[in-house]
Amino acid sequence: MRITIGADHRGFNLKQQIAGWLKSQGHEVADVGTTSTESTDYPLFAAQVARKVAQGQADRGILVCATGVGMCITANKVRGVRATVAYDEDVARASRQHNNVNVLCMGERLTPEAAQQIVQTWLTTEFEGGRHSRRLGEIADVEQSECGVSRG
């Protein structure tokens, strides 16, 4: 699977560990940064990952910051992206089954082992379709109708 990964300074160490693990599992990993623990702004990396997923340059995206929340908010601003924050396998599984989430956001406080389990569950869980497809269509309708609204 083609996975694009990114993090800010707070998520750098966990991103590095996840990227190495993904490569060891045979995934193609594109890392958009950051490249150190020097302070940086998470929206820059979240937008890069989200755009690569939305444009089909990656099958999935993974983002790491202090909590995952800022990354998730930013990624969800990109049309066609469905991002979630997951702190456990149950959320990761449900996000794929029900929401066909294509960007996973995590907080750096997870242990590398817990993060790997969450990522593994997220990558191997299939979208269930059915009534969930209808709901994703409704979400897409909201996304489409809001695209012309300006910030005020």
Q: Which positions are catalytic?
A: 65, 98
CA neighbours within 13 Å on the CB side: how many for 12? 12
CB contact at 8 A, 106 and 114: no
Beta bridge partners of 71: none
